[in-house]
Amino acid sequence: MTEAAEKSARVVVADDQTIVREGIVMLLGLLPGIEVVGAAGDGIEAVRLVAELAPDVVLMDLRMPRCDGVEATRRIRAEYPGTQVVVLTTFGDDDSLFSALRAGARGYLTKDAGGDEIVRAVRSVLSGEAGLSPSIQLRLLERLSEPEPPTVTVVAEPPDGLTTREIEVLVLIAEGLSNQEIARQLHVSTATVKTHINNLFAKTGLKDRAQAVRYAYAKRLARPPVN
């Protein structure tokens, strides 16, 4: 047995819901090879605990106040690379998954994961491997096998502070897609699409989809159909 296998993994739990956080801490306390050394109620506190305690792994929720799990993961991986992050969240949509992985998370589990699955994920990331649940692994494989969404016109300075994702949504609106069709195209939920639309409307002062189409044409983000 290796030294890594014999040593208990020192873990910090980050979740804004007290009852959920306490439940996870209680569950981890029953699992072999895991020692909970701290618990945080938001991302800022999670980063602070990592600085103080230098844990091996943070089990990170994504949707938290003040500083969400993606930003907290990014800070931890940049400032404390000796600590790995395993996301433990309710959300398994593509936006959440890929944002967390791009931020530096090495594991991703949904909250229906069992104790054995959590232990495997923690051990995997400490061994330099990915700690992904089977459903998340399947989602990644499906995503790789699917055609890529339409290429967005690259602009040196995005107009009105729009993000790349908001421009993608705007281009698809200009192509006449409904919210449900955009969600399928971008592999996100309809609620996520609505959020992006609300954000881009607020930034640009647009009132409806017709104005959005004209805006996309005017900014040369999309091309009018050829008659």
Output the pLDDT for position 1. 39
> Concatenated DSSP letters for the chain?
--HHHHSPEEEEEE-S-HHHHHHHHHHHHTSTTEEEEEEESSHHHHHHHHHHH--SEEEE-S--SSS-HHHHHHHHHHH-TTSEEEEEES--SHHHHHHHHHHT-SEEEETT--HHHHHHHHHHHHTTS-EE-HHHHHHHHHHHHSPPPPPPPP-SS-GGG--HHHHHHHHHHHTT--HHHHHHHHTS-HHHHHHHHHHHHHHHT--SHHHHHHHHHHTTSS-PPP-
Query: 9-145, superfamily in CATH?
Result: Response regulator (3.40.50.2300)
In a structure prediction context, what are the per-residue pLDDT tens digits for the chain, which is 227 residues long?
Answer: 344 445 889 999 999 999 999 999 999 999 888 999 999 999 999 999 999 999 999 999 998 988 999 999 999 999 999 999 999 988 766 677 788 888 899 999 888 888 889 999 999 999 888 888 777 776 666 666 655 555 555 455 678 888 888 888 999 999 889 998 888 888 788 888 999 999 999 999 999 999 999 998 888 888 877 55
Would you state the pLDDT for residue 143?
63
User: Structural domain boundaries of the chain?
Assistant: 9-145, 164-219
196: which residues sit within 8 A by CB, 6+ positions away? Answer: 165, 166, 169
| pTM assigned to the model | 0.62
pLDDT at 54 (0 to 100): 96
Instruction: Please say whether the beta carbons of 73 and 100 come within 8 A.
Output: yes
Cα gap 227→220, rounded to integer Å: 18
CA distance 22 to 40: 10
In whole angstroms, give the CA distance from residue 108 to residue 99.
11
HEC per residue, 117-182: HHHHHHHHHHCCCCEECHHHHHHHHHHHHCCCCCCCCCCCCCHHHCCHHHHHHHHHHHCCCCHHHH
User: Which class does domain 164-219 fall in?
Assistant: mainly alpha
Cα–Cα nearest to 70, from 98, 41, 112, 39? 98
Provide the pLDDT for residue 85.
95
